[in-house]
Structure 1
Amino acid sequence: MEPDDPIFAIAVASELAGMHPQTLRQYDRLGLVQPTRTAGKSRRYSMRNIAQLREIARLSGEGVSLEGIRRVLELEDEVVRLRRRVRDLEGALATELLNRPGSRVFASTPDGDVVPLRHGMRAQRRTEVVVWQPSR
């Protein structure tokens, strides 16, 4: 079972979230939590929706406005999307490294810029000596 699988009817979701079903309907209308709809238009809530409802209750209890809660939930959704994207990119990089063992895909310049390297190329090494002295 995945966190986004729509499995709970509104009665079960309201019990799991500790809220009245009418509150869940209101949050749906406001766009705070958007459950999946069945062919018959009934709501189906996922475990992620239940977690969001609990977060709404917690934030509301702390005095955060519904608009503030909406923004917090948007940012949390963005974090989830970005983590998925990072995971996908890490997977693509790992695949690339496996397909070309022993070769470098990129290197870093002294300024911190990332530059691609062709197969078989090596990054130039700097040989200067840098002395660091703490300021007083």
Structure 2
Amino acid sequence: MTPSASGTEGDDVGYRGVTACQAVGISYRQLDYWARTGLVVPSVRDASGSGTSRLYSFRDLVVLKVVKRLLDAGVSLQNIRKAIEALRSRGVEDLAGITLISDGTTVYECRSPEEVVDLLQGGQGVFGIAIGGAFKEIQGSLSHLPAEPAAGGGQERAVSAAEPAESTESVGDELAARRARRRAG
């Protein structure tokens, strides 16, 4: 099954914690902490006692990847939590159209190339994360990792996160595209 423009696969497929860690590049301990503290709670199935495993959706994995990138860039977990909550509170359905810009303290949400440029010209931005790029990275990572039916069954099967939806392809890395145009003259 292929992710939709909103990045979610159907509720019929989920990725176990170990698979999520491999796809995103984080430790299981980080994943567990983020789930227990509510930063990124698995949307397919949360753990419901001893012996049950969490199942993460494709969209959950993209959010995990963004959290990891922000942490790697030096943004505090407290500020990351605020940024993720702000995205959730707005009911953001299509994460692929957003670029997050940060100065290391505050995280800004940009929905257009003009907003990115305005922030950079204003001196607020130091680095950016095009969420559409995270979609593509996760899809590549998942192409060889197992998924399982969300309904239980427990039998793992390989599910390819094949081609991205058209809207995620058009997003790309806006800043990289601007740099390429500048170099071309």
* TM-score, reference length from structure 1: 0.53
Distance 2:16 2:74 in 1: 28
| Equivalent residue number for residue 62 of structure 2 | 51
What's the counterpart of residue 42 of structure 1? 53
Secondary structure of 1:60's counterpart equals helix
Give the SS at the match of 2:14.
coil
Q: List gaps (5 residues or longer) in structure 2.
A: 95-185
Report sequence identity in percent. 31
Query: In the TM superposition, what whole-angstrom CA distance separates every residue of 1:56-112 from its partner, at most 9, and x where no partner exists?
Result: 111111211111111111111233x2669xxxxxxxxxxxxxxxxxxxxxxxxxxxx
Tell me: higher relative CO, structure 1 or 2? Use CA pairs within 8 A at least 6 residues apart: 2
Alpha-carbon RMSD across the aligned residues, in angstroms, is 2.3
Between the aligned partners of 2:33 and 2:62, the Cα distance in structure 1 is 17
Q: 1:82 to 1:8 in 2, by over 3 A?
A: closer
Q: Paired residues, what number? A: 83
Whole-Å separation in 2 of the counterparts to 1:38 and 1:24: 13
CA-CA distance at 1:38 after TM superposition: 5.9
Q: Which has the larger radius of gyration?
A: 1
Please state if 1:71 is matched with 2:82. Answer: yes
Work out whether 1:33 is the aligned partner of 2:36. Answer: no
TM-score by length of 2: 0.40
Opposite residue 25 of structure 2, the aligned amino acid is G
User: Equivalent residue of 2:19, what SS?
Assistant: helix
